[in-house]
C-alpha cells in the first residue's frame, strides 16, 4: 500500500497525523501534512485507512 497527501486539497486539519502518527508529518510553518515515506508497512495499513477516513478534506490518497 502507498499513501499520498494531495497538497492542493490538504488544509492542515492534522487528523491524519492523529490517526497514524508514524505515516504523516506536519510542516512546521502551516501544519499541512505529507507522507515522509509513501510506502505503508503492512502493520500500518489499518491506520492508513483510518487516516484516509478521518481527513475532512479527503486529501489522503491510498493506492
Partner 1 sequence: MDTEESRTEENRAGDAERRKPAISLDRLSSRYRLEFEELSTEFHGKCPVAWNDTHGGYWFTSGHKELFDLARRADVLSNDFDVEGVRRGYQGISIPSPTGERRFRGGFLEMDPPEQRYYRQALNPYLSPAAVQGWKPVIEEITRACLDEKIESGRIDFVDDLANIVPAVLTLALLGMPLKDWDVYCEPIHAMVYTPMDSPLYERVRELQMTMGVHMMETINGIRNNPRPGLIDELVTCEINGYRPDDMEIFGVLLLLIGGGFDTTTALTAHSLEWLSEHPDQRERLSRERETLLDSATEEFLRFYTPAQGDGRTISQDCVINGTEFKEGDRLWLSWAMANRDEKVFEDPHTIHLDRKGNRHNSFGLGIHRCIGSNVARATFKIMLTQVLDRMPDFVCDPAGAVHYDTTGVINGMKHLPATFTPGKRLGAGLDETIAKMQRVCDEQRLAEPVTVRKARAKLDD
Q: Are 40 and 52 in contact (CB under 8 A)?
A: no
Neighbours of 39 (CB within 10 A): 10
Binding mask 31-60 for ligand SF4 (x = CB under 6 A): -xx---------------------x-x-xx
Rounded CA-CA distance 10/54 in Å is 12
Query: Considering beta carbons, is residue 25 or 38 the nearer one to partner 1?
Result: 25
Q: Which of 22, 38, 45, 57 binds partner 1 (CB under 8 A)?
A: 57
All 3 cell numbers of residue 36? 515522509
Q: Which residues bind ligand SF4 (CB under 6 A)?
A: 5, 10-16, 32-33, 55, 57, 59-60
Amino acid at each position: 500500500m502507498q499513501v499520498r497527501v494531495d497538497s492542493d486539497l490538504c488544509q492542515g486539519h492534522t487528523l491524519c497525523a492523529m490517526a497514524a502518527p508514524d505515516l504523516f508529518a506536519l510542516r512546521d510553518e502551516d501544519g499541512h501534512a505529507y507522507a515522509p515515506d509513501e510506502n505503508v508497512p503492512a502493520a500500518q495499513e489499518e491506520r492508513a485507512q483510518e487516516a484516509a477516513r478521518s481527513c475532512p478534506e479527503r486529501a489522503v490518497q491510498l493506492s
